Amino acid sequence: MIISPRLERLRDAGYKLTTARATVLGVIETHEGHMTSAEILDEVSKRDSSIGRASVFRTLDLLTRLAIIRPTYTSGSATPTYVLMPDGHHHHIVCVQCHQTIEFEDCGLGVLSERLEAEFGVKLTGHLLEFYGVCGDCSEAGVVDDEG
């Protein structure tokens, strides 16, 4: 079993390091990007077919609670995708036409984060920032947008 720094965060939080958990996290870490639950199930199954469906979902839930991954919607109400938040945060732009995601790094939210912690008495461990709009390709393709 490969014990990544993120996997150790499980143990630090009082959870056991099991094969199922290591495999699920391994799959997501290897892929680095958005994955649907179906893709994760499929890849986990390839690596270790003895791992059950339920454990995969349980692990996704656990990783979400620890802010290691985050489920987000790239298309309307359909299947969510799970994305790794290596340093507790993630930022992307979602094209509302073609559902492509563009990821970017700096968000400058550290200051806001600290202010919110003080203001609301919370302890923040991560964040997700999503912008919505129309990507360059879709704009060129001629898209409905008569606001201006």
Partner DNA sequence: ATCCGTATTGAGACATGGTATCATTTAACC
Partner DNA sequence: GGTTAAATGATACCATGTCTCAATACGGAT
**Which residues sit at the interface with DNA, rule CB under 7 A?**
11, 15-21, 36-38, 50-55, 57-59, 61, 71, 76-80
Q: Three-class SS of residue 88?
A: coil
* Closest CA relative to residue 27, chosen from 71, 59, 50: 59
DSSP-assigned beta bridge partners for residue 13: none
Closest separation between CB of residue 41 and a copy of itself, Å? 12
Closest separation between CB of residue 13 and a copy of itself, Å? 5
Residue 45 binding partner per list DNA, a copy of itself, none, with a CB distance cut-off of 5 to 8 Å that depends on partner kind: none
- Measured between alpha carbons, how far is 73 from 56 in angstroms, rounded to an integer? 19
Residue (17 or 122) nearer to DNA, CB: 17
Residue (52 or 110) nearer to DNA, CB: 52
Q: CA 126 from chain center: how many Å? A: 11
Binding site for a copy of itself (CB under 8 A): 12-14, 37, 57, 60-62, 64-67, 70-73, 76-78, 80, 93, 95-97, 102, 104, 107-109, 112-113, 116-117, 119-136, 139, 144-147
Exposure string of 72-85, with b = 16+ CB inside 10 Å and e = fewer, is bebeeeeebbbbbb
Question: Is-contact 10 21, C-beta < 8 A?
Answer: yes
Closest separation between CB of residue 4 and DNA, Å? 14
